[in-house]
């Protein structure tokens, strides 16, 4: 999906949209811009705020408008849980997102490429579908033939240097396999934006 200049988009939607903009340099530039805007009147409408949240969440997960609207439609038609909670689960349980959350790649975009290029298996079977919805108990692993690739060189050491793994996921750096041990909650995986506002945008 072509998304355009990342720094320009991140200035509008926030640094959290792209991993490459989550730097001290970008944060300083944003603080400077915020000081310059201080005192100016904010005429943003409620619709504008909802649109901004929608774009922020969609860009964070790297989805097309069609893909994202399909997730919204599913979340609003599913019974048994609040729509915002369902939407959060649908987004977090995508295979590419979980590959990213496991620390196999530094960005979700790189995770999509890793899956698309056939480096990942589910229950021992190679998959090339980044949007595949994962289930509890399924095993995610690096394909045996890919373990010797430059992409995974010294991976065990690199993995130990990365942030603590989310509580809803498991991963064994030695065997290069893991999975989802529970449904992700907003506490375990912070939402990319105000999902209630996102749903309000689509309900208009």
CA 114/CA 93 separation, integer angstroms:
16
Q: Give the residue among 110, 109, 106, 134 at the shortest CA–CA distance from 121.
A: 134
Q: What are phi and psi of 46, to 5 degrees?
A: -65, -40
pLDDT at 164: 79
CA 204/CA 184 separation, integer angstroms:
28
CATH class of the structural domain 94-180: alpha beta
pLDDT at 32: 65
Q: For residue range 151-166, what is the model confidence (pLDDT) as tens digits?
A: 888 777 766 666 678 8
- CA R_g for the chain: 18
Q: For residue range 85-107, what is the model confidence (pLDDT) as tens digits?
A: 999 999 999 999 999 999 898 89
Q: For residue range 37-94, what is the model confidence (pLDDT) as tens digits?
A: 555 556 779 999 999 999 999 999 999 999 999 999 999 999 989 999 999 999 999 9
CA 104/CA 108 separation, integer angstroms:
10
CA 47/CA 119 separation, integer angstroms:
41
Q: Model-level pTM?
A: 0.79
Tokens at 143, concatenated: 């394909």
CA angle 7, 10, 15 (to 5 degrees): 110
Cα dihedral 97/98/101/105 (nearest 10): -70
Long-range contacts of 10-13 (CB under 8 A, 24+ apart): 12/52, 12/55, 13/52, 13/55, 13/56, 13/59
Query: How far is residue 128 from each of residues 72, 100, 114, measured CA to CA in Å?
Result: 24, 15, 8
More confident site: 24 or 106: 106
Question: Angle of helix 195-202 relative to helix 65-77, nearest 10 degrees?
Answer: 100
Tell me the average pLDDT across 129-142.
97
Domain boundaries, the chain: 6-79+190-202, 94-180
């Amino acid at each position: 999906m072509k998304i355009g200049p990342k720094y320009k988009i991140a200035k509008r939607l926030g640094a959290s949209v792209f991993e490459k903009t989550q730097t001290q340099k970008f944060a300083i530039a944003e603080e400077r811009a915020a000081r310059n805007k201080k005192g100016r009147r904010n005429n943003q409408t409620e619709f504008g705020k909802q649109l901004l949240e929608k774009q922020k969440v969609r860009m964070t997960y790297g989805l097309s408008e069609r893909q994202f609207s399909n997730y919204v439609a599913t979340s609003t038609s599913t019974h048994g849980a609040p729509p915002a909670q369902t939407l959060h689960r649908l987004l977090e349980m995508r295979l590419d997102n979980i590959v990213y959350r496991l620390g196999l790649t530094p960005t979700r975009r790189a995770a999509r490429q890793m899956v698309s290029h056939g480096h990942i298996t589910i229950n021992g079977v190679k998959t090339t579908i980044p949007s595949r919805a994962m289930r509890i108990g399924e095993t995610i692993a690096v394909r045996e033939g890919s373990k010797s690739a430059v992409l995974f060189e010294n991976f065990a050491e690199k993995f130990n240097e990365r942030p603590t793994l989310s509580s809803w996921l498991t991963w064994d750096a030695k065997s290069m396999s893991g999975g989802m041990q529970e449904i992700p909650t907003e506490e375990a995986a912070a939402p990319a934006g105000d999902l209630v506002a996102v749903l309000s945008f689509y309900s208009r």
